[in-house]
């Protein structure tokens, strides 16, 4: 019986080490010709910020590459990137002909896993890129979520939550990829079964900048309306009922008097200040006059 393979998420210093030290393979840093290096086609990261690349390129021109790339040998004089594609691209922009690199040993499965973990640890990947890579590992290597969890050192529930994102409409996935919404918004949208309602609420998030809490409230209304066979009512408020309660309490404390705040589904409402006598009214007027200045 073969010993259980350790999870890549554990003891990463000995495997990927955030590019600061070699894993399996030589401990020496080699100068490798850029022309002999090719990117990893299974690299999880798909988007590279051109402005950030140019900044890194300028730094490389002045200081060189501080952290060596991690490569694996694919032929007598050819190499493939395990980690460091951003540095590779910036080095080419800077006009370098060689880059420092560790040469590591990795099969195809390990290559994808190592690239995934390296990017996740650096927080370079967006949620959709992570989800797609999880799916690729599961499909290509016939893994269960539990087995993938063991391989990369991530909780199975974490993997499941990322995979659920791929059930969202394509437009919503693009919004998550481009960071127009975040994971909290996406999780709230997933609580709605109907893709039409998901898209409708997604567009409201983007248009109005809704908070996650507000989206959770609206998602419950959408889902309930769908279960009852009704069309969800328009509710264009940006803030939740809890947000309004907090604002009301804040105003009451700021003006030292009871405040009433009402708001309808369109976002229209009114704020009422109570006062006991004319002296208190004058005090409030003085505060309002100060605020106008």
CB–CB of 52/99 below 8 Å?
Answer: no
In angstroms, the CA 216 to CA 9 distance is 32
Which run of H or E residues covers position 259? strand 259-263
Q: String of b and e for 98-119 (b: at least 16 CB within 10 Å)?
A: ebbbbbbebeeebbbbbbbbbb
The yes-or-no verdict on residue 278 having pLDDT over 70 is yes
Rounded to 5°, the CA angle 281-284-286 comes to 110
Q: Where is pLDDT greater, at 181 or 147?
A: 181
User: Which one of 33, 51, 62, 85 is the catalytic residue?
Assistant: 85
Tokens standing for 76? 């007598």
The yes-or-no verdict on residue 168 having pLDDT over 90 is yes
pLDDT of residue 173: 93
pLDDT of residue 98: 93
Helix (H, G, I), strand (E, B) or coil at 91: helix
Identify which of 213, 172, 208 has the alpha carbon closest to the alpha carbon of residue 190: 172
H-type alpha helices, the chain: 50-63, 85-93, 108-121, 127-140, 145-152, 156-164, 170-177, 183-190, 195-208, 212-227, 241-255, 278-292
113 is catalytic: no
Helix (H, G, I), strand (E, B) or coil at 260: strand
Helices 212-227 and 195-208, packing angle to 10 deg: 150
pLDDT of residue 3: 42
Tens of pLDDT, residue by residue over 121-146, are 555 678 888 888 888 878 877 888 99
Q: Where is pLDDT greater, at 78 or 153?
A: 78
The yes-or-no verdict on residue 13 having pLDDT over 50 is no
To the nearest whole percent, how much of the chain has pLDDT over 70?
A: 73
pLDDT of residue 196: 87
User: What are the chain's domains?
Assistant: 29-104 (3.90.1530.30), 110-228 (1.10.10.2830), 241-291 (no CATH)
In angstroms, the CA 18 to CA 257 distance is 57
Phi/psi region, residue 284 (left: phi>0; alpha: psi -120 to 50; beta: rest), is: alpha
In angstroms, the CA 223 to CA 220 distance is 5
The yes-or-no verdict on residue 277 having pLDDT over 90 is no
Identify the band that residue 23 occupies on the pLDDT scale cut at 50, 70 and 90: very low
What integer best gives the mean pLDDT of the chain?
A: 77
In angstroms, the CA 161 to CA 187 distance is 8
């Amino acid at each position: 019986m073969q010993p259980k393979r350790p999870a890549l998420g554990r003891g990463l210093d000995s495997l990927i080490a955030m590019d600061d030290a070699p894993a399996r393979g030589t401990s020496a840093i080699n100068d490798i010709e850029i022309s002999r290096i090719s990117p990893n086609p299974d690299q999880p990261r798909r988007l590279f910020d051109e402005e950030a690349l140019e900044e890194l390129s300028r730094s490389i021109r002045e200081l060189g590459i501080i952290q060596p790339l991690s490569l694996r040998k694919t032929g007598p004089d050819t190499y493939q990137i395990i980690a460091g594609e951003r540095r590779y691209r910036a080095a080419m922009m800077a006009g370098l002909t060689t880059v420092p690199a560790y040469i590591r040993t990795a099969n195809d499965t390990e290559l994808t896993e190592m690239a995934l973990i390296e990017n996740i640890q650096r927080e370079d990947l967006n949620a959709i890129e992570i989800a797609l890579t999880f799916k690729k590992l599961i499909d290509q290597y016939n893994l269960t979520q539990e087995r993938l969890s063991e391989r990369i050192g991530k909780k199975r529930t974490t993997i499941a939550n990322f995979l659920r994102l791929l059930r969202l409409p394509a437009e919503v996935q693009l919004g998550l990829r481009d960071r127009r919404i975040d994971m909290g918004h996406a999780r709230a949208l997933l609580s709605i079964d109907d893709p039409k309602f998901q898209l409708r609420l997604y567009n409201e998030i983007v248009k109005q900048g809704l908070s996650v809490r507000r989206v959770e409230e609206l998602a419950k209304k959408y889902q309930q309306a769908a279960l009852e066979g009704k069309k969800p009512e328009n509710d264009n408020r940006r803030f939740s009922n809890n947000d309004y309660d907090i604002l009301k309490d804040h105003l009451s404390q700021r003006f030292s008097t009871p405040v009433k705040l009402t708001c309808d589904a369109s976002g229209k409402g009114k704020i009422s200040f109570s006062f006991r006598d004319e002296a208190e009214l004058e005090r409030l007027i003085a505060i309002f006059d100060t605020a106008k200045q």
